[in-house]
Amino acid sequence: MLSPDEWEALRLSLGIALRSVAVGLPLAILVAVLLVRGRFFGRLLLDALVHLPLVLPPVVVGYLLLVLFGVQGPIGGWLESTFGVRLAFTRAGAALATGVMAFPLMVRAIRLSLESIDRGLEEAARTLGAGRFDRFVTITLPLMAPGILAGGVTAFAAGLGEFGAVITFAANVPGETRTLPLALYTAIQSPDGDALAARLAALSFMLGLAGLIMAEWLGRSLQRRLGR
């Protein structure tokens, strides 16, 4: 059985990961469409920037977020002075850091799904009088669904385990930003925290494994339904 503090860490992890996917998924769809279908100057640079969190140390990503969205940062300072919104060292900041780290996973999955779509279906709809928006909503978007769903679930599972960017940008605040990885880190630092660390590690392992299996199963199920 988990203690109240452990349940709180689990609840925070689930909520932060869910918020990061909910906010990032529409943007990931837009970026994936731009990268696959767009023809504009700077597309390669955009592609590199989108996937940069995959190769940068998470602590570097968290530091860059702190520089930009911190109280003294150009974006963070403006948000706080204009709207009273503070991101650094808050739950919203943890969701932002998690979303930035998981964003490339969503874009990659959606992009692969979009690239596999038969463009002939869209061309047939165009010859029948369907506009660009209608073609996207009725043909392209449903055919992208396996990638969208798989990317969202994979990003959610990855978000549950995000550590470096979160602790750098949002710190390790109990009840606010102390997610499962941070609670595990705190337990490891405690002299008598071995049992707690083992429980949290096992819980993180099961959640990550379940997320990956779910993403694969949902993606394949949708592909079978779509006849792909």
Phi, psi dihedrals of residue 117, rounded to the nearest 5°? -75, 135
Identify the CATH assignment for 4-225 out of 3.30.365.10, 3.40.50.12280, 1.10.3720.10, 3.40.190.80: 1.10.3720.10
* DSSP state at residue 70: S
User: What's the confidence (pLDDT) of residue 168?
Assistant: 96
What pLDDT, in 10s, does the model give residues 5-35? Answer: 889 999 999 999 999 999 999 999 999 999 9
User: What's the confidence (pLDDT) of residue 7?
Assistant: 92
Which tokens is 54 given? 């995959």
Which among 68, 41, 33, 49 is positioned nearest to 169, based on CA atoms?
68
User: What's the confidence (pLDDT) of residue 130?
Assistant: 81
User: What's the confidence (pLDDT) of residue 26?
Assistant: 95
- How do the domains of the chain map onto residue ranges? 4-225
- Mean residue pLDDT across the chain: 91
User: What's the confidence (pLDDT) of residue 217?
Assistant: 87
pLDDT along the chain (228 residues), means of 10: 86 96 96 92 93 95 96 94 93 96 96 88 83 86 90 94 95 94 93 89 92 85 73
Report which secondary-structure segment, H or E, holds 6: helix 4-37
Q: CA-to-CA distance for 146 and 139, rounded, in angstroms?
A: 13
